[in-house]
A and B are shown apart, each in its own frame.
Chain A
């Protein structure tokens, strides 16, 4: 059965690609051709372009099923006219359950999909097409025989989203190359790095000619493009995925804003010579405390193992736990002040650590080294201080 499905999908992919090539040669007649050629296949491409995720997950939700039925006719017509890049790439992801080969996790490619091997590098469909359009003379990438380059991950392990991306790559055996961008040496502000990420922030990735920044977007991309990443990291089921997206969005304006601001204004500011603001720290502490409470009461209800009660971790679990881990550099006392009252969070963090061990510990090694150095400096500063009031102030702030 499985071989059969794989074969059908493979033929479809190759066929679709052929049609796509044909279309690129005949730019004047695409719509008509699409209608004629794809007519019988429309329901198929429709399913691929909009609901392959549900198909994979067995279409468990009856609501979604009836919705698909309701919109079926309209969507078939739509799918017939949808872009080829979109169609082909979703068909790729449609069969993403098929392991391409032994060994490391490589990106989706033609050889993996057709099963014939040796056809060559996978097509980053949209990007290649966009680039080809922009640059005019770029030749079509489908037939190229370039070897697959590992994904370049630009990161500083002192940054929490960098750690999340590195752990994700390691756990999922993604073929990647870590390029260290030392934030303390301002390497993120160099013109070379600005070519990788114009925002001058880590993490950022370069996959072939495709560049991407923002850790959540990177995690989504890696989970979607490498077929051997287990589904639980970024579930194909639309409903589970939507809930995870909601947490990822919430993260930006709550947990991250709280935790990152506290760390910047307390632990990092004195070392980086930044001015701190007591109001900013107070607000950030409040937001952090609130956010921890929300995680516990909304997403770790009952005896939930991972967020949303899922049996296995998602990219949201990894991203949020890495965010909270940075509280370590505030020292044990402050960390406990925030986390001590949140037993569920501590249990959950430990589950995420175990599920990603030993890569979790390895990626966090540098954090603990920074922590040790900070404690040493603090102790030295403490010894030099004369007035007990100053001591007290430092202890309560750091």
Chain B
């Protein structure tokens, strides 16, 4: 039996979700780093693994798969040692989890990922940003956080849907939100500060997947530290206070 190959860059939030899932469930896997900053996802070799040129992707024997949710579903179904709560066999509980996973794509992910791309990453990758896009993304992100809290974390729910244990939806959504870290503590607090239930829930997910959760996020915090340094350097070089203010409010 060959281990499952997981092609991932730990700077990508769905990559982290898949890695944490594998570790927590003791799946026999081999992590293959695809460095996005070095454009390794665009090489012909990687396109053979995933024609979309995106991480994460897996190769299990001759079976190839991309899209993180599909990967999580597959791993949970194919490895019998994965506890049922991750992707419940019960059709009704499962359907509710599917609904959250689908919602994630067009709401939380769209909000959070667009925001990070247009603020934190764009200046470093030389992408052009659009204030309208940022504004829309911020609005969508805020709305999405509100929905999670009011709909799926009702009462004193420990995990989404009031489940006593986490599912792949908990893991995927929490990893999505975790990426806000690289926007800096100030921005992070602006989004999460008013959502106490989300903070508690995120901590519950972290605890149940510890120490793999922290380990998978190490690189994120390194990137965050580097970004803060370059921001501080850029800030010192700036002359006009108005520019400073703009950077502070954007990042």
Which residues of A line the B interface, CB within 8 A?
46, 49-51, 53, 63-64, 66-68, 70-72, 74-75, 78, 82-83, 85-87, 89-90, 92-93, 124-127, 130, 134, 198-199, 210, 212-217, 220-221, 224-225, 238-239, 241-243, 245-246, 248-250, 252-253, 256-257, 277, 279, 294, 297-298
Does B122 count as interface, using CB distance less than 8 angstroms? no
- Given the contacts A49-B84, A199-B147, A93 and B73 also touching, CB distance less than 8 Å: no
Cβ-neighbour of B98 out of A63, A125, A214, A242 (below 8 A) = A214
* B contact residues around A70 at 8 Å (CB): 1
A203 to B84, CA, bound (A): 29
**A174 CB, nearest partner CB in chain B, Å:** 15
**A90 CB, nearest partner CB in chain B, Å:** 4
6 new A-B pairs (CB below 8 Å) besides A67-B78, A93-B91, A215-B102? A210-B95, A239-B63, A242-B74, A242-B77, A245-B73, A298-B51
Does B70 count as interface, using CB distance less than 8 angstroms? yes
* A contact residues around B103 at 8 Å (CB): 199, 213-214
A-B contact pairs, 29 of them (CB 8 A): A49-B89, A50-B89, A63-B60, A67-B80, A71-B81, A74-B81, A78-B83, A78-B84, A125-B90, A126-B91, A126-B92, A126-B93, A198-B150, A210-B95, A212-B95, A213-B103, A214-B98, A215-B102, A216-B102, A217-B98, A221-B98, A224-B95, A225-B91, A249-B68, A250-B66, A253-B106, A257-B106, A257-B110, A298-B52
Cβ-neighbour of B106 out of A217, A245, A256 (below 8 A) = A256
* B contact residues around A242 at 8 Å (CB): 63, 65, 70, 73-74, 77
A92 to B90, CA, bound (A): 10
A55 to B222, CA, bound (A): 46
| Chain B residue nearest in CB terms to A243 | B65
* A contact residues around B89 at 8 Å (CB): 49-50, 82, 86-87, 89-90
A252 to B109, CA, bound (A): 11
**B175 CB, nearest partner CB in chain A, Å:** 15
Cβ-neighbour of A246 out of B1, B66, B96, B130 (below 8 A) = B66
| Chain A residue nearest in CB terms to B163 | A130
Cβ-neighbour of B88 out of A126, A198, A238 (below 8 A) = A126
* A contact residues around B68 at 8 Å (CB): 249
Does B61 count as interface, using CB distance less than 8 angstroms? yes
- Given the contacts A64-B78, A198-B151, A238-B78, A253 and B83 also touching, CB distance less than 8 Å: no
Which residues of B line the A interface, CB within 8 A?
1, 51-52, 60-63, 65-70, 73-74, 77-81, 83-84, 88-96, 98-99, 101-103, 105-106, 109-110, 130, 132, 147, 150-151, 162
* B contact residues around A298 at 8 Å (CB): 51-52
Cβ-neighbour of B69 out of A46, A78, A86, A245 (below 8 A) = A245
Contact B98 A66 (CB under 8 A): no
* A contact residues around B79 at 8 Å (CB): 67, 71
Contact B88 A277 (CB under 8 A): no
**B75 CB, nearest partner CB in chain A, Å:** 9
- Given the contacts A67-B78, A212-B99, A250 and B91 also touching, CB distance less than 8 Å: no
Residue in B73, B91, B150 with the greatest tally of chain A CB atoms within 10 Å? B91
Contact A220 B95 (CB under 8 A): yes
Contact B69 A249 (CB under 8 A): yes
**A24 CB, nearest partner CB in chain B, Å:** 15
- Given the contacts A199-B147, A221-B98, A242-B65, A127 and B80 also touching, CB distance less than 8 Å: no
Contact B95 A63 (CB under 8 A): no
A225 to B101, CA, bound (A): 19
- Given the contacts A71-B80, A78-B80, A78-B81, A250 and B52 also touching, CB distance less than 8 Å: yes
Contact A253 B93 (CB under 8 A): no
